[in-house]
Structure 1
């Protein structure tokens, strides 16, 4: 299959900018693209005119524009999964007073599809559309623990475990031990593994083909997450995840099946 080079570079530019989390110059982008600066500049100029990028005249840098947000929001609004899960996230926030998340697996990562924040809850850095490695979050580990060992190995065996905090899982063997704990416990935990002050509890959602298709979580301030409140949140999360899974045709009565 022959790909259009210009169209591919547009997609690559959007991917690079979304991953960088900061504006980049034409020189930086052309270097990342391994493309001539002149042709990169032409593509960037077109994307600015169309509203998909914004150009900072002072810093001479580019960042995602409002049009990209509109397109992304339209996608999220038209995703059946997001529509189905949103009321459940709202119920979790109402019951716990903490922030609730929905994420799906994409290749070797998770992507945040939805977030409902409680006024009194901690504000995390996770944003809609953000893509993160699975080992780094409760959501990702909930999905990994739902996968067969062979699939986990395919995804994670040669993964570079980049630490975000002193609590980040740092190698594959440690991850395997953690995943087995999740399966036995019945839920995943992110105890300040991606953000220093955030504690997260997560579980998977299954579908009619008995495949884990997403994960939901509750995130709050680590210092406020007592053993008692965590146990209560697990009950809420498990009930919601099981209700959603049954709604999507899941036939089992456990979120983690020990083979």
Structure 2
């Protein structure tokens, strides 16, 4: 480990945690390093625009270089590449069909990726196809973590139409369902979209903490019994956490 690089990175981490800025003395005390050493490191970081001085010249904060780097990282981040091997492992460990979806501006989900098993079941989903939010596990997983405005917009503009006898069509009941999703950390489509098909889903959080994506596993009702769900849920939740981590999510929801 190169000590000067390590200390420079520690300075950046400290400044990240204190947006208002920190002075040389405070940084030196935090890192238990001589002020002269901190001053040299800070001067180097400042010259490369990784940090900048406050208006009164008494403290330092993160610099504009991070905005430039942020856009490069986000622009290069491909959700399909990030999630693919996690989906493959999820499908292999559960022997179920695994899906990755994204919410669309028209209040639907679009299937971005699908990993199939040797199962002979045939279901509605295919890459590029869209599905409603209110009767799919992935849709409910995303909606449960949307803002109040987004949820109100959805409920005021979209009909909770019936696809099967188990589809939730009452707005109050649906909001109660979303509250259960938030409490449990996962959503279930219990034959609400297709008869005989059950799926469980979890949200995927991006670097901003937004649930723009979701993943799920799907099977027939006998294949997705309560005993099986208890077995699959930890695997599914871990997969969701891993994809969220790869997208830069730092929270704990």
Q: How does the TM-score come out when normalised to structure 1? A: 0.66
Preserved contact between residue 197 and residue 222 of structure 1 (Cα < 8 Å): yes
Structure 2 residue aligned with 1:242 = 241
Structure 1 residue aligned with 2:69 = none
Structure 2 residue aligned with 1:89 = 87
Q: Secondary structure at the match of 1:233?
A: helix
Q: Which runs of 5+ in 1 are unaligned?
A: 1-77, 255-259
Structure 2 residue aligned with 1:191 = 190
Q: CA deviation at 1:170?
A: 0.7
Preserved contact between residue 199 and residue 224 of structure 2 (Cα < 8 Å): no
Q: Secondary structure at the match of 2:113?
A: strand
Q: After TM superposition, where is structure 1 displaced by more than 6 Å over at least 4 residues in a row?
A: none
Preserved contact between residue 164 and residue 191 of structure 2 (Cα < 8 Å): yes
Q: Which runs of 5+ in 2 are unaligned?
A: 1-75
Q: CA deviation at 1:121?
A: 5.7
Q: Which residues in structure 2 correspond to 1:115-126 (within 5 Å)?
A: 115-120=114-119, 122-126=121-125
Q: Secondary structure at the match of 1:146?
A: coil
Q: CA deviation at 1:224?
A: 2.2
Q: Secondary structure at the match of 1:136?
A: coil
Preserved contact between residue 98 and residue 122 of structure 1 (Cα < 8 Å): no
Aligned residues: 177
1:182 correspondence with 2:181: yes
Measure, in 1, the Cα distance between the counterparts of 2:229 and 2:166. 19
Measure, in 1, the Cα distance between the counterparts of 2:158 and 2:170. 8
Structure 2 residue aligned with 1:150 = 149
Q: Deviations over 1:170-221 (max 9, x none)?
A: 1221210100011111100000001001000001111111111200000001
Higher Rg: 2
Measure, in 2, the Cα distance between the counterparts of 1:130 and 1:198. 17
1:109 correspondence with 2:130: no
Preserved contact between residue 99 and residue 115 of structure 2 (Cα < 8 Å): yes
Structure 2 residue aligned with 1:72 = none
Please provide the CA RMSD for this pair: 1.5
Q: Secondary structure at the match of 2:231?
A: helix
Q: CA deviation at 1:101?
A: 0.3
